[in-house]
Amino acid sequence: MTIALQPDLGYSPLYIVEQEGWLKKALPNVNVKWQVLNSGSAIETGMITNHIQVGAGGIAPFLLGVNKGVGWKLLSSLDEENLWLVCKPNIKSLKDITSTDRISVVAPTSIQAIDLKKAAKTVLGNPNALDPNMVILSHPVSYQAFKAGRTTCALDAPPFEQEEVAAGGHVVTSSYQLFGTSTFNSTFVLTKYYQSHQQELKILVQQIKRAVNLLNSDPKKAATIIAAYEKGKLSEADALKDLTVKGTHWTIVPHGYLTYAKFMHSIGLISSVPRSMSSIELPTLKATPGN
């Protein structure tokens, strides 16, 4: 079983499960491999070609995959995070954006790109009004570009958005403001893989839940584990600060999927809205269905 995740503290529940070796203890006979990939698109391709069995990523690419017939469903959510659109001080509203301004998002199908389209629709009346301004940059590069003045606005995630504010930016709008409190990352598997590995996946979700509980009940201990996982790249104090950012909640319950799906459908990104949460969730979420 290969579990793929991305280098971002939003995946902390999975980092903890890996770092603490919980899955190895619970499933001694299963060869579990953890793979960190820099792009959600790479994880998606890996799952379609069956090199990756459990993927983790954002809400929008997941919904797009559902619509395109990838055949995956939600195993669990990981967290909710408030994503800020941070702009230079002279941009008071999106109306101040001109053709030479650049706004960075992490991928054309990312939740951030969808947030930007929703903001464009709300403020400017056209969801695609800011497409010519959009540039695709990974979070660390996006932060550097914003700090260096190469971009006017950045739509990233914690802790980069906090750094961008510290570098002189201000929050123009946020994902919670646009869509309400909603899931940032979740884990998903192909339905046909779930059917043949129900027991193992049930245990994986139990371990994720255990990590989520730890993040909520003892963030200090969680920060110690994350700092150990990052092998010196992140101090315990910084990890604690990042894990307890206001607006970040650790939960396995998915939220906001149908709200995002309705918007993505209304602007033509997906051809239909999932009938209900149960049509995109696996039984692992039966006790705690999302919305």
Partner 1 sequence: MAVTSQELRPGADLGGTLTARQSWSRLPAWLRRVIILAVAVAVWELYVKAAHVSHLVFASPYAVARSFVSGWLDGQIAGATGVTLEALAIGMAIGIGSAIVFTVLATWTTVGQDALMMFTSMLNPLPSIAILPLAIIWFGLNEKALVFVVANAVVWPIAINVTTGFRTVNTTLLMVGKNLGLRGWRLVRDVLLPAALPYIISGVKVAWAFAWRTIIASELVFGTAGGSGGLGYFINKSQYFLNIPDVFAGLVTIAVIGIIVEVGFNMLERRTVIRWGMQATS
Interacting residue ranges for partner 1, rule: CB under 8 A:
41, 44, 48-49, 61, 64-65, 68-70, 102, 107-109, 128, 131-137, 145, 148, 150-151, 269
Q: How far is CA 215 from CA 138, 176, 224, in A?
A: 26, 21, 11
Distance of CA 94 to the CA centre of its chain: 24
Contact predicate 280/274, CB 8 Å: yes
The amino acid at residue 35 is: Q
Rounded to the nearest whole angstrom, what is the least distance from the CB of residue 267 to partner 1 in the complex?
Answer: 13
Distance CA 167, CA 78 (A): 29
Which of 17/280 has CB closer to partner 1? 280
Rounded to the nearest whole angstrom, what is the least distance from the CB of residue 256 to partner 1 in the complex?
Answer: 21
Rounded to the nearest whole angstrom, what is the least distance from the CB of residue 85 to partner 1 in the complex?
Answer: 16
Rounded to the nearest whole angstrom, what is the least distance from the CB of residue 229 to partner 1 in the complex?
Answer: 28
Which of 22/143 has CB closer to partner 1? 143
Distance CA 212, CA 251 (A): 6
Can you count the helices (H) and strands (E) in the chain?
13, 12
Which of 21/132 has CB closer to partner 1? 132
Distance CA 211, CA 21 (A): 11
Q: Which residue has the tokens 């245990």?
A: 203
Neighbours of 251 (CB within 10 A): 19
Rounded to the nearest whole angstrom, what is the least distance from the CB of residue 191 to partner 1 in the complex?
Answer: 14
Which of 46/283 has CB closer to partner 1? 46
Rounded to the nearest whole angstrom, what is the least distance from the CB of residue 3 to partner 1 in the complex?
Answer: 21
Interacting residues of 110 by C-beta distance below 8 A, sequence separation 6+ = 40, 58, 60, 61
Rounded to the nearest whole angstrom, what is the least distance from the CB of residue 135 to partner 1 in the complex?
Answer: 5
Which of 2/278 has CB closer to partner 1? 2
- DSSP secondary structure, 210-230, as one string: HHHHHHHH-HHHHHHHHHHHT
Rounded to the nearest whole angstrom, what is the least distance from the CB of residue 39 to partner 1 in the complex?
Answer: 9
Tokens for 134, please give them.
Answer: 């959009």
Burial of 150 (0-12, 13-18, 19+ CB in 10 A): middle
Which of 150/209 has CB closer to partner 1? 150
Which of 209/265 has CB closer to partner 1? 265
Contact predicate 82/176, CB 8 Å: yes
Which of 27/141 has CB closer to partner 1? 141
- DSSP secondary structure, 133-194, as one string: GEEE--HHHHHHHHHTTS-SEEE--TTHHHHHHHTT-EEEEEHHHHH-S-B-EEEEEEHHHH
